[in-house]
């Protein structure tokens, strides 16, 4: 359905609800209507309200003329611009994006019960698990996150884990129109910091865990944690689910002003992990909560998913879902693309494709790969680091890589930085390691080499890119080229080890 037309006075009234400054309308009669809020002048459609957002490298006020030529009906500004369009002048355009984005999308969140998921690792998987739980309860649920937006069998791409507020509200509107009554939203720390989820209130906020990341944006670890903790403020969430197996989660559970369900292996956890087992066939977890003990099976592979499963269980319980329905939902959720995706096997080495891009996530991924090795098997790790992002992590990634048997250092997308310099920083963490270290700058060649070198009992672990299919080595996004780790690995497996062996009837029965 098209976005609703909203009158100019209604826009002014909604803007006035945002604290912190005067709202002044310049031009435009009460009969003026706008349709849709847009932050990119290249996406302006006739009748749009164009928001002139000040960004890190660009100021939307400079593009007001282009927006006018594209048919914008009015401008949202925080300083006057010499463009012959009605303007709504506010103290901060960015602070208005959530409330006005909601208004111009028809306030879709009012028709949805929302779950927000934040954490350094595990957001995408936990979000998918929560959606599976809610779908199993018979309520159509949408999800917005790193892999895009989806509801039912429909999907749409997104450029960011948490889209800018106007796009996010339009996606929620799309979900409502598709029959959704609940939605799961991945809330990144940057999105929380800059206000992309302003105007939303969540029934449950979920915290999956914490480690250093995105310090190029936040500056300090404390600021990074504080950004994530914002999801648990009283005006954003009614309740929380927090993994408390590390100090940052325990601190959040202690300090959050909303009721919190604690998840983990600690004795005081409300949803307690009593035991687990994982392998190529999936993961089994034994949980205990106020209703007793529960066995959960999931096709997800790896011990890293144990707390993801427990957090999704807890979220279902907070939302009132029956335990049997929760278990059914968790059992049906396939691994999200690029999250411990397992390829190969049956006489060929296993290949695991994972998004692990922080030191702790990499350590967990290597441990999972070790668990999947056959007798005497080795772990071959293909490792890079993204250019112009979080340089402080590179030595830590190298340190986590020490647990592999063979490390193939390569390019993950240099974004204009010197790829050799990135590899050199990774090498610092590997100094003195028992692992054999090879440098193959071309990522495709590195994957082919690792698969070629692997024996049937070995595991080849490809990390850092996960679901991504484009790699960029310059500062111009137009230079990105296609590269899909899973696709390259599948080709390499067939070339080096032949096609997969089809299971016999007896094997399938067993």
Q: What is the dihedral of CA 435, 437, 443, 447, to 10 degrees?
A: -50
3-state SS, one letter per residue, for 146-192: CCEEEECCEEECCCCCCCCHHHHHHHHHHHHHCCCCEEEEECCHHHH
Q: In this structure, are residues 113 and 205 in contact, taking their beta carbons and an 8 Å threshold?
A: no
Can you spell out the DSSP letters for 213-271?
--HHHHSSHHHHHHHHHGGGSTTTBS-EEEE-SSHHHHHHHHH-SS-EEEEESSTT-SE
Q: 219 — phi, psi (to 5°)?
A: 90, -50
Query: Could you tell me which residues come within 8 angstroms of residue 371 by beta carbon, excluding any fewer than 6 positions away?
Result: 278, 279, 302, 303
Rounded to 5°, the CA angle 104-105-109 comes to: 125
The response to whether 161 counts as a known ligand-binding position is yes
149/337 Cα distance (integer angstroms): 13
Q: In this structure, are residues 199 and 94 in contact, taking their beta carbons and an 8 Å threshold?
A: no
The response to whether 196 counts as a known ligand-binding position is yes
The response to whether 39 counts as a known ligand-binding position is no
3-state SS, one letter per residue, for 301-324: CCCCHHHHHHHHHHHHHHCCCCHH
Q: In this structure, are residues 130 and 184 in contact, taking their beta carbons and an 8 Å threshold?
A: yes
Closest CA to 118 of 1, 22, 256: 256
505/316 Cα distance (integer angstroms): 38
61/434 Cα distance (integer angstroms): 55
The response to whether 400 counts as a known ligand-binding position is no
Task: Please state the residue numbers annotated as binding site.
Answer: 41, 161-162, 188, 196
């Amino acid at each position: 359905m098209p976005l609703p037309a909203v009158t100019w006075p209604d826009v002014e009234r909604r803007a006035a609800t945002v604290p912190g400054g005067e709202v002044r309308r310049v031009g435009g009669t009460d009969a003026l209507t706008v349709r849709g809020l847009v932050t990119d002048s290249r996406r302006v459609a006739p009748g749009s309200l164009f928001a002139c957002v000040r960004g890190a490298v660009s100021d939307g006020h400079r593009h007001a003329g282009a927006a006018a030529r594209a048919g914008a009906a009015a401008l949202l500004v925080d300083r006057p611009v010499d463009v012959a369009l009605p303007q709504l002048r506010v103290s901060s355009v960015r602070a208005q994006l959530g409330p006005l984005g909601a208004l111009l999308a028809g306030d879709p969140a009012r028709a949805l019960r929302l779950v927000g998921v934040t954490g350094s690792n595990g957001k995408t998987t936990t979000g998918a698990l929560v959606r599976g739980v809610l779908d199993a309860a018979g309520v159509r649920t949408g999800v917005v996150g790193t892999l895009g937006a989806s509801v039912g069998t429909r999907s749409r791409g997104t450029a960011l884990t948490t889209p800018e507020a106007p796009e996010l509200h339009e996606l929620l509107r799309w979900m409502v129109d598709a029959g959704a009554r609940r939605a799961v939203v991945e809330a990144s720390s940057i999105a929380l910091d800059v206000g992309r989820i302003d105007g939303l209130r969540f029934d449950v906020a979920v915290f999956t865990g914490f480690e250093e990341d995105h310090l190029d944006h936040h500056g300090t670890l404390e600021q990074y944690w504080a950004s994530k903790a914002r999801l648990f403020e009283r005006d954003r969430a009614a309740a929380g689910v927090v993994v408390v197996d590390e100090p940052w989660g325990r601190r959040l559970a202690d300090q959050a002003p909303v009721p919190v369900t604690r998840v983990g292996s600690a004795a005081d956890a409300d949803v307690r992990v009593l035991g687990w087992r994982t392998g190529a066939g999936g993961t089994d977890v034994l949980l205990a909560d106020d209703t007793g003990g529960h066995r959960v099976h999931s096709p997800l592979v790896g011990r890293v998913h144990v707390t993801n499963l427990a957090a999704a269980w807890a979220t279902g319980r907070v939302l009132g879902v029956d335990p049997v329905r929760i278990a059914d939902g968790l059992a049906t959720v396939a691994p999200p693309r690029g999250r411990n995706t397992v390829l190969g096997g049956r006489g060929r080495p296993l290949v695991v494709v994972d998004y692990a891009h922080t030191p702790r996530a990499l350590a967990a991924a290597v441990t999972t790969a070790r668990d999947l090795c056959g007798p005497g098997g080795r772990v071959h790790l293909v490792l890079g680091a993204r250019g112009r992002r979080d340089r402080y992590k590179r030595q830590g990634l190298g340190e986590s890589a020490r647990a592999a048997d063979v490390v193939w250092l390569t390019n993950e997308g240099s974004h204009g930085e010197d790829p050799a310099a990135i590899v050199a920083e990774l090498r610092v963490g590997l100094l003195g390691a028992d692992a054999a270290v090879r440098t193959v700058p071309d990522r495709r060649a590195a994957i082919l080499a690792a698969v070629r070198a692997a024996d049937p009992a070995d595991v080849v672990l490809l990390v850092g890119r996960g679901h991504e299919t484009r790699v960029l080595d310059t500062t111009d996004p137009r230079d990105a080229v296609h590269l899909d780790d899973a696709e390259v690995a599948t080709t390499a497996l067939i070339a080096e080890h032949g096609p997969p062996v089809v299971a016999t009837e007896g094997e399938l029965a067993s």
